[in-house]
Structure 1
C-alpha cells in the first residue's frame, strides 16, 4: 500500500513539473499519469543506455544534463 501511495506522489510531482516546463494545462489524473509514464520511459531509456554503452552512458548523461541546463539558462535565465 505504501509503495502505491509513493508512486502516486512521485508521479504527481514529476507530472506537475513536466507539465509546467512544457506549459501544458492538464487535470490532476492526467498529470499523475504523465508523471508515472515519464518515470517508466525514462527508467527504461536509462537502463538501455547503461546496458548498451556501459560507462559511456555517464558521459552521455552529463552531456544531456549540460544541454538541459543551457536550455534552462537560455529560457529562464537573466535577459540581456
Structure 2
C-alpha cells in the first residue's frame, strides 16, 4: 500500500520537479520521473515520513524526482 501511495504522489512530484527544473518533457516521461523519484525519495526518507507525517513523503518524492531529472539531463539521451 505504501508503494502505491508513493506512485500516486510521484505523479504530482514529477510535475512539480519538471517545473522546478524548467525542463520540457512529455506527460509519460514526467509521470515516470515522478514515480521513480517518489520510490527513491520515499524509501530513502522513510524514517522522516514516520516522524513528520505525509508531508515528508511529498518532500522526499520531489527530491527524488529532482535527482532523477538532474541525472537525466546530465547523462540521458541528447
Higher relative contact order (CA 8 A, sep 6+): 2
TM (norm. structure 2) is: 0.47
For the pair shown, the structure with the greater C-alpha radius of gyration is 1
TM (norm. structure 1) is: 0.46
